[in-house]
């Protein structure tokens, strides 16, 4: 096998319902002792609870108002988090480095103008009025600039424009698979020497009726009062969307060392697959991925598993079977389903797990259990290895193994 570069995380940019940057997340997750209470809005989109974004001053990362106006909220969240990651990595404002930094984004649909949608639905009493829709309603109602806010690749486009990241730009789609593909692509390119430094991540604006509709036609949303991920599995399942922007800077070790960048952690391996989702197939796929993950890595001792479980059944139940089987082999495994606290962020959810793993390895500790259950047990040892799981609510399975840098 050819020489493989070590892949370091040298920057983390994180915004969610919990905090406005990585520092705030680290303090609340790892240093608060007793654990934090999730921030939930149960009324605005009732019966669907959502985790709303913490109030942000977008101007601190997107200085031009004209740029902000050209974006919908999901893009502003992503551009903000991307800017935090670049600053954290010490790349922000360094034109030469930015010109050689590649960009990989996991994105879903852009936001629709729901007011326009409602206007059209209510104005056209008869479905025979399609001609009217074409001739009168849409041309006057649609704002041309916000078309661009709807295109999946325009989160990446806006990051290039606002932060001047111009090495290259790729956007992956496909719900949770977008996040899995984005992290895997960035990791493998750096490992193989096809890229030196990649800004990778995604964003979700959970506070959108059009987003809720897209998932509710498949009955994937949790209805009613907030429950923890594992509790929802026992009660029919469903996910609670959470607004999140999560970006990390991945970098070849040699390049990070050359510019004296401080690493959070190394990514040792990323493996992904698509199981058919016939009963038992998700468990089997995860077991095989874990075997592949470990082939070159050999983690020993305590392992923190940051689970990206959505709470949608049967996917999350099968993931739990997989995690239980790991616990049989390795009694020192500690599970935390971070969606219990931050909600499910779909495309951004695996990048979010990678970002949280970086913080856990920097702190050397695990967050307190999210709620009372047999699944999430207290852990007070030193965290040296973190497993991040990503199981799509419908399709896609992935695992990543991260390690502390001695």
For residue 330, state whether it binds other proteins (rule: CB under 8 A).
Answer: no
> Which one, 31 or 118, has the nearer CB to other proteins?
118
Beta bridge partners of 347: none
The number of C-alpha atoms within 13 Å of 172 and in the hemisphere containing its C-beta is 24
Among positions 36, 40, 54, 212, the unique one binding other proteins when judged by CB under 8 A: 212
* Binds other proteins by CB under 8 A, chosen from 213, 254, 291, 295: 213
Q: Which of 6, 21, 184, 319 binds other proteins (CB under 8 A)?
A: 184
130 binds other proteins (CB under 8 A): yes
C-beta closer to other proteins: residue 183 or 244: 183
CA 299 to chain centre: 24
Q: Enumerate residues 6+ apart whose C-beta is below 8 A from 403.
A: 265, 266, 268, 297, 299, 361, 384, 385, 386
Site for other proteins, residues 152 to 181, rule: CB under 8 A: 152-154, 156-158, 160-161, 164-175, 177-178, 180-181
- Using CB under 8 A, pick the residue from 32, 59, 60, 194 that binds other proteins: 194
* Contact set for other proteins, span 86-125 (CB under 8 A): 103, 107-110, 112, 114, 117-118, 120-122
Q: Site for other proteins (CB under 8 A): which residue of 42, 94, 216, 231?
A: 216
Among 40, 54, 56, 151, binds other proteins (CB under 8 A): 151
CB burial of residue 336 (10 Å; 0-12, 13-18, 19+): buried
- 35: CB partners within 8 A, 6+ apart: 367, 368, 369, 370
**Of the candidates 16, 61, 185, 365, which one interacts with other proteins according to CB under 8 A?**
185
CB-nearer residue toward other proteins: 66 or 329: 66
Q: Using CA atoms, how far apart are residues 348 and 7, in angstroms rounded to an integer? A: 20
- Using the rule CB under 8 A, which residue among 42, 94, 273, 313 binds other proteins? 273
Looking at residues 225 to 264 of the shown chain, list those that interact with other proteins (rule: CB under 8 A): none
Whether the CB-CB separation of 195 and 100 falls below 8 Å is answered with: no
One DSSP character per residue, 9-34 reads EEEEEEESSS-SSHHHHHHHHHSSSS
What part of residues 7-46 is at the interface with other proteins (CB under 8 A)? none
Q: Kindly tell me which of 169 and 325 has the beta carbon lying closer to other proteins.
A: 169
Residue 395 found at the interface with other proteins (CB under 8 A): yes
> Residue 9 or 103: which CB sits closer to other proteins?
103
Assigned token pair, 364: 């050397």
The residue among 133 and 405 lying less far from other proteins, judged by its C-beta, is 133
Instruction: Decide whether 157 or 367 has the Cβ nearer to other proteins.
Output: 157
* Residue choice 36, 56, 148, 405 for contact with other proteins (CB under 8 A): 148
C-alpha 198: how far from its chain's center? 16
Stretch that binds other proteins, among 17-25, 52-60, 319-327, 394-402 (CB under 8 A): 394-402
Bond into 47 cis (ω within 30)? yes
Phi-psi region of 277 (alpha: psi -120 to 50; beta: other; left: phi over 0): left
**β partners of residue 197:** 251
φ and ψ at 334, to 5 degrees?
-125, 125
CB of 402 to other proteins, least distance (A): 19
Q: What's the closest the beta carbon of residue 163 comes to other proteins, in angstroms? A: 8
Number of residues this chain uses to bind other proteins (CB under 8 A): 82
Is the Cβ–Cβ distance between 343 and 242 less than 8 Å?
Answer: yes
Contacts with other proteins in 48-67 (CB under 8 A)?
48
Quote the CA–CA distance of 104 and 357 in Å, as a whole number.
19
Which alpha helices (H) appear in 11-143, and where do they start and end? 22-30, 65-69, 73-88, 95-99, 114-123, 130-132, 138-141
| Options 133, 287, 321, 326; binder of other proteins; rule CB under 8 A | 133
Whole-angstrom distance, CA of residue 179 vs CA of residue 177:
5
Residue 319 Cβ, how far from other proteins at the closest point, in Å? 16
């Amino acid at each position: 096998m050819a020489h493989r570069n070590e892949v370091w995380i040298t920057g983390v940019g994180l915004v969610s319902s919990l905090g406005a940057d990585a520092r705030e997340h680290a303090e609340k997750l790892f240093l608060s002792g007793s654990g934090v209470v999730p921030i939930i809005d149960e009324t605005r989109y009732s019966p669907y609870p959502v985790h709303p974004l913490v109030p942000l001053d977008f101007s601190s990362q997107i200085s031009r108002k004209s740029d902000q106006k050209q974006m919908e909220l999901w893009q502003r969240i992503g551009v903000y988090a991307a800017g935090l990651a670049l600053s954290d990595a010490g790349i922000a404002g360094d034109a030469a480095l930015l010109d050689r930094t590649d960009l990989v984004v996991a994105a879903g649909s852009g936001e629709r103008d729901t007011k326009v949608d409602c206007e059209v639905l209510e104005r056209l009493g008869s479905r025979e009025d399609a001609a009217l829709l074409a001739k009168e309603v849409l041309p006057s109602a649609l704002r041309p600039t916000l078309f661009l806010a709807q295109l999946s690749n325009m989160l990446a486009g806006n990051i290039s424009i606002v932060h001047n990241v111009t090495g290259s730009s790729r956007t992956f789609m496909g719900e949770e698979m977008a996040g899995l593909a984005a992290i895997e692509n960035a990791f493998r390119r750096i490992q193989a020497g096809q890229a030196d430094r990649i800004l990778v991540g995604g964003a979700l604006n959970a506070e959108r009726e059009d987003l809720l509709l897209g998932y509710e036609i498949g009955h994937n949303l949790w209805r009613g009062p907030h429950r923890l991920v594992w509790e929802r599995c026992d009660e029919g399942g469903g996910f609670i969307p959470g607004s999140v922007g999560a970006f990390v800077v991945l970098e070849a070790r040699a390049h990070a060392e050359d510019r004296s960048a401080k690493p959070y952690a190394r990514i040792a391996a990323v493996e992904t697959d698509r199981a058919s989702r016939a009963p038992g197939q998700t468990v089997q796929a995860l077991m095989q991925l874990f075997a592949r993950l470990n082939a070159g890595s050999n983690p020993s001792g305590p392992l923190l598993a940051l689970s990206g479980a959505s709470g949608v059944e049967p996917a999350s139940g099968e993931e739990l079977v997989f995690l239980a089987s790991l616990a049989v082999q390795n009694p020192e495994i500690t599970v935390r389903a971070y969606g219990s606290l931050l909600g499910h962020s779909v495309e951004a959810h695996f990048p979010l797990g990678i970002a949280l793993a970086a913080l856990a390895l920097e702190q050397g500790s695990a967050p307190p259990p999210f709620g009372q259950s047999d699944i999430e047990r207290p852990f007070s040892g030193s965290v040296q290895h973190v497993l991040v799981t990503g199981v799509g609510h419908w399709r896609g399975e992935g695992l990543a193994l991260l390690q502390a840098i001695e």
